[in-house]
Each structure stands twice: as C-alpha cells, then as structure tokens.
Chain A
Amino acid sequence: MKRLLKGGRVVDPVNGLDGQFDVLIDGDRIARVGADLPASLAEGGEVVSLPAGLVVCPGLIDMHVHLREPGQEHKETVATGVRSAVAGGFTAVACMPNTNPVNDTAGVTRLILQKAAEANLARVYPIGAVSRGQKGEELADIAELRAAGCVAVTDDGHPIATALLARRALEYTSMFGMPVIEHCEDPTLKGDGCAHEGPRASELGLRGIPGVAEAITASRDILLAEMTGGHVHIAHMSAWTTLEAVRQGKSRGVKVTCEVAPHHFTLTDELLAAPIPFDTNAKMNPPLREARDRDAMLDGIRDGSVDVIATDHAPHHYDEKHVEFDRAPFGIVGLETAVPIAIDRLVHAGVVSLSRMVELMSVNPARILNVPGGSLAEGQPADITILAPDLEVTIDRARLQSKSKNTPYDGWTFRGGVAATIVGGRAVFVNSAAGLAMEAEGA
C-alpha cells in the first residue's frame, strides 16, 4: 500500500533536509521525499494531510532499554515494552541482556527476537552480554550472539568486572565492528550507595555514590579503547567528570561515544527531598546528581560531545518500589516520557535544534549500533516518527503503556509529544490528541 504524508516539516539531518516536504511510503519502504508531491503518486493508497506544525523525522531509536523478558515478566515483557516504545515515538529499541537467564547465548537472543516478531510493533535489537552470565569472568560467545542478531555487547547493570576483560571485549568486538557498551561504575566506590554522594544525600542520611565512581571506569575503558582500537560506548552518563573523560578521548581520536538519559539532563538529587521525601522513583543508577552535573550534561548535548539520548527504560513492579528507599531497585521507565522531555527541555529551551535532537535520538543510535534507520532516503525502511512539537502533554502514570509505572514525572506537563509512529510503513501508534487523520493499524 502507498501512503503520502503531505504538508509536514521534514527533519532528516542525514539527507540535509529541514523544511516543508512530502513523504511517499510504498509498502514498507520510503519511496520519495520531495516538495509538493502530487497526490496521484499515492493512487490506490492514502493521502494523509498533516496538520500544521507536525514534524516528520526518521524513526527514533532508543538504544538502552530493559525489556525484562525472559525472567522478569512481572515488570515488563517484550510485548508491553514495544507497545510502550511506539507510544513514546520509538520505532526501534535495543534491549539490555540482564534478563534471567542473561542474554549470553544465541538461544536467548532468538527468544527475544521471536517475542518481538510476535508483538510486531517496534523493532527490537538485542544486546548480548560481554561475559558469560554477566559474571565478569570469561567472554560470552560474542560471535554467535552477533550471528543470532545481537548488535552490541554489555554487562549493563554492572561494569565489566576487570580491566583485562574490558580489554579483551574491546579487542574481540573490534573484529566485527561492534561496540562495547559500558555501565561505568567502580563497585568499591559505589559500595552500598543508593544516591549521589553530595550535600543532599548527606542531609538525608543516604549512602552516597560519588560521580567519580563513574568517571574512573569510563576513563579506564577510554584508555583501553585507545589502546585496542575498539569502540566503547558510555551508557547513561551522569557525572561531569565522565563527560570530561569522554571529551578528552574524543579529542585524541578514540572511538568513544556516549549517551545521556533524559532524567540526567532534567533532574537533580533535589528530587530525593521534595516533593516526596525519599521517593523511590527518584532512585536510579547512576543516581540523579547535582546541578553541576545536570548542567554539564546539557552542555555536552549542546556542544556535540554527547552522541545519543537513550532512556535506560528500567521498569519495576509497584511492589518492588513501594519499600524503604535503600531497599528499592534502581531505575525508572523512560520510553513514554523521553520525547516530551527532549522537545521541551532541549528544543524549546534552545539547547539544540530539532534537527540535532533527531541526530541524538535516531541518526546516531543507528550509526553506533550499525542498524538500519536514521534516514528518510529513498529505499530505506519506512520507519518514521511524526512529532507534535507544540502539543501539550501531561504525564499520567496510569496511562503509560509500559507494564510498570515507576516514573518521577507523573503529573509533569511538557510542550512536545508524539503524533504517530510508523514502523515498516505501518502506523503502529497514532495519538488521537495530535489531530492526525490516520488510523492506527494493529499488530
């Protein structure tokens, strides 16, 4: 079937486009992008006239989500996770291997891909474990994981246990051009910390995790990437010292990339004290840090040091979060809040252009993971996100599509939202509030 998206502002940085263009979809591919394409091109199909102000961009890709399946289906499943993804404007997600069992074998990878095919909403790119069982002792079967569909490796949830193993992982993956994604954290400095080490944690009597715990591991891995020629991608960067290490690495030509999660460029550890003291939805790892760190993340996004915005979508069941702060698991859901936050706090706030936001959320994740997408060029898969930059969105945790509702943004209002999500030419999500005359097509 053909579908012609008429009248939108097309933002497609890879192809140098930012202006009024029409997009013709033919089946599951992009057929043409051009000004004032005639409706006759969509003959037998559908012409969708976009309300003024909507933006058509390459499908957003979240390269850091926890889908929890297999093993923790009470928190999330592949099916609920991808429903959450498309509701949040993401046409693809890359999922972390800290499942139970760990995604350290091709069998687990294939199970995830099978579940994703059944769900048939967002594309799912599994990420394999660096080490068998994520135990940090021996390498997982990385070539087999890759052959089964893994696009990167990580021991996320934990750092790669030793410098030696990190070195080996970087050397080994460099054979395939695969990135090693690192959860940077010195476990001895983290200890049993549960909040950012600083005046706020001191006042509340919460054990601290210093920012340097992150920067030390990042520095180690950047040096190892430099030595080996491997590619290290720093996950969920939160500390200003880590950003400095990344900048230095980049300036020396090291293959290092990095991502920042929306909560780390919007929130600080003030959220631990108010409005809800000791709110477990303010507990994530790495923790919410100080204003200096939060502002550094914005600087890094502004000056191009930061490559990617990724959510670290970490669903947890209500029961698990409704406990004492130090006993609660780390993490918040992020798939359905990322776009409103990014448009409001980055684009409307003047930190980056919309085109740059598309690079951070689509172009660069595709490039780093070496997966399709990030471009509206003819012949590309028709993975498209339609944004509504002026739509007022109020986050309502009860209406999240994710199985878990652990968000600190409940009740927050942002300017910017998702109008529709198109995967392989199919409109898998349409936001009725955005005034788009298009029907969602179920899985």
Chain B
Amino acid sequence: MDPTVAPAAPLTGLRHKDLLGIAGLTPEEVVLILDTAEAMKEVGQRAIKKVPTLRGKTIVNLFFEASTRTRTSFEIAEKRLSADTLNVAIATSSVTKGETLVDTAMNIEAMAPSMIVLRHASSGACHLLARICRAGIVNAGDGLHEHPTQALLDAFTIRERKGRIAGLKVAIVGDLLHSRVLRSNVRLLTKLGADVWVCGPRTLIPVGIEALGVRATTRVDEAVEGADVVMMLRIQLERMQGAFFPSLREYFTTFGMTEARVARAKDDVIIMHPGPINRGVEIASEVADGPFSVILDQVANGVAVRMAVLYLLAGGAEHETAA
C-alpha cells in the first residue's frame, strides 16, 4: 500500500469544531469515529507509521494536569498524522498566581493553531475555551466531567474483542464520584445500547447517577455476575482523607477485583482499566496481568482512536477549521 495515502475512511467528517465530550455526539458519530480508528490502527502497523493527512496543521497539547499516557498518546497520534505538534505543560499552581486560562488560551490562539488538546482540572474548562477559540478544542480530560477519547478507545477495544457493544453487560467498578472516565464511558456505552452497571462504595457513587441510564449497586458480585466487560476505575489514595472509605486494605477486600470475583463474570470476560493501576487496591495483580486483561490493548488503541478524532475534526473530508 502506498504509505503516502491516508487509509480509506468514510467520506463524512464530524460536523463539530470541537470534541468536548461524548454528550455532544450522536451514536452514528461515535460509530464513525470507531470505524475511522480501525483504518488508523492499520497505519500504526505499517513499517512507516505516518500519513500526510494533517500536514501543515499545528496542534497544541495544553496540559494543566500531569499526564503521561494521554499526552504521549495524543502526541504520537498527531505525529503519525504529520501535524506540527507541541506540548505546553503548565503546573496548576503557577497558573493560580499568574495568567488566567482564558488569557493563556488567547495567546496560543493568536499563533493560529488548528487545534488545542486540553487537559484541565476544572469541569467545563473545554467548554469555556471552545466558546472563545477559533481553534478546535479536543477534551483530553476536564475535571470530573468527561474524558471522551478514553471512552472512545475503551469502546474500540470492547468492539474489537466482542464484535459489538449493544447488549453487552458492562460493569464499571471503583471511584465513580471522582471519575471523568466513568461519565464519558456511561454516556458512550448507553448510547450504543450496552447494559451498564456501576459499582463502588456508597460514598463514591454520585447522587442520581441512575439518571444517566445505568444501574448502580454497592455489591460488586452483583455487578460482575455474568458481565462481558469489567472496567476498573482507579482509587486515588487521598480519598481516605475525605472519609470515603476507611482503608485501602478494606477497599480491596470489599471492592477489589480478584480472580474469585472475575470468576463470576462470563468465561470470555475482558478486564479493562484506564490506568494508572494501583495493584492490590482496586485490582489484584493476578487479574491485571492475567489472561482476561486488555489493559495494554487499551493503551495501544488509544493512538488509533485519537488519530481518528483529530482526522475527523481537522482533516476530515468536509471540515476545515477557520484558523
């Protein structure tokens, strides 16, 4: 295959300037992204892992929170699409003393990037920038709100393994309250017809989460029973100080994903985790490293999914950013 030609993708792009969350996508748009990601994954398997799709486009990765996996994944995706890319990492603490988010963004905007990939500790930060920037805003995680590319790569991984998403029982277990991964995954999986269960200690279940179309339980066995997919969420060690649970040991004995608990799921269950994992807290090492784990597949697929998102937003067949 001619390595200078982008793989065939559907000729329809996303009609949006930004990807702010799964909330703004139709089921068809989600499927379009996943289908496009399949083509992008093929690029990553070539000897020369590069296509010229985004040549001449500048993408700024603006990260106000520490991130290894997501930032690296976006950067690789951007480079494989031939975009000019740069990383701006800003410690939140220095921002509180100096420039506002809006001013930082307007300065970057003045240099006419095509897109800004934003990670920020405040829910809604991407919406704020999308209102004032001509550049497309790609949400790489905003506060507790959304992390859409994580949910897309999770869905891609599930679809790759299971061939479908509709009708699958997906159990999401862990710190639901503080998780943007949860919120994006719930939106996406329910949009595509999965039967989504969420589970965690009562103290870490958001009030009224059922309104998003999921079933909530505090009994991990009930959540895992017959599941096609078990997705673990990271437990942040500082949550003990907030009196959300008494100790990491008790958390593990009550909610940790052990081999015994995995045995309640379907025989071909897949175990997922957005990382970074806390071994022996939310997940036993035997499970994380075991035969059902697809944790590293998720990471690998992240690049393809982000290539698809960037391609469809900036290089897609119809849409050109005003910048």
Contacts and interface: CB of A to CB of B under 8 A. Distances in A.
Contact of B207 (A197, A276, A277): A197
Given A199-B211, A205-B144, A277 B122 contact: no
Given A199-B211, A205-B146, A327-B122, 10 more contacts: A202-B209, A202-B212, A205-B183, A206-B123, A206-B143, A210-B207, A278-B127, A322-B100, A323-B100, A325-B122
Nearest to B211: A199
A198 interface: yes
Contact of B124 (A199, A202, A277): A277
Contacts of B209: 199, 202
A205 B102 contact: no
Given A204-B145, A206-B144, A324 B207 contact: no
Contacts of B211: 199, 202-203
Contact of A198 (B123, B146, B207): B207
A273 B190 CA distance: 20
B122 A203 contact: no
B207 A205 contact: no
Nearest to B206: A202
Contacts of A208: 207
Contacts of B143: 205-206, 326
Contacts, number: 65
Contacts of A323: 100-102, 128
A203 B101 CA distance: 23
Given A198-B207, A198-B208, A202-B208, A278 B100 contact: no
A250 interface: no
Contacts of B207: 197-199, 201-202, 208, 210
Nearest to B182: A205
Contacts of B144: 205-207
Contacts of B122: 324-327
Interface of A: 197-199, 201-208, 210, 276-278, 319, 322-327
B133 interface: no
Contacts of A210: 207
B145 A205 contact: yes
Contacts of A319: 100
In this complex, the member of B146, B180, B208 whose beta carbon has the largest number of chain A beta carbons within 10 angstroms is: B208
A205 B208 contact: no
Nearest to B180: A205
Closest 9 CB pairs of A and B: A278-B124, A199-B208, A205-B144, A205-B145, A324-B122, A202-B206, A205-B123, A199-B211, A325-B124
17 contacts: A202-B207, A202-B211, A205-B142, A205-B146, A205-B180, A205-B183, A277-B124, A278-B124, A319-B100, A323-B102, A323-B128, A324-B122, A324-B125, A325-B123, A326-B124, A326-B143, A327-B122
Contacts of A201: 207
B71 interface: no
B306 interface: no
Interface of B: 100-102, 120, 122-125, 127-128, 131, 142-146, 180, 183, 206-209, 211-212
A199 B110 CA distance: 38
A324 B208 contact: no
B128 A324 contact: yes
A324 B101 contact: yes
Contacts of B125: 324
A208 to B, nearest CB: 7
Contact of A324 (B120, B131, B146, B206): B120
B209 to A, nearest CB: 6
Nearest to B177: A202
Contact of A204 (B100, B102, B123): B123
A85 B190 CA distance: 50
A278 B183 CA distance: 16
B127 A277 contact: yes
Contacts of B180: 205
A300 B102 CA distance: 41
Contacts of B100: 319, 322-323
Contacts of B146: 205
Contacts of B131: 276
A324 B208 CA distance: 24
A287 to B, nearest CB: 13
Nearest to A195: B123
A204 B208 contact: no
Contacts of A326: 122-124, 143
A203 B209 CA distance: 7
Contacts of A324: 101, 120, 122, 124-125, 128
Contacts of B145: 204-206
Nearest to B132: A322
A205 B128 CA distance: 15
Contacts of B208: 198-199, 202
Contacts of B127: 277-278
A208 B211 CA distance: 16
Nearest to A323: B100
B102 A322 contact: yes
A323 B99 CA distance: 11
Given A204-B123, A205-B143, A278 B128 contact: yes
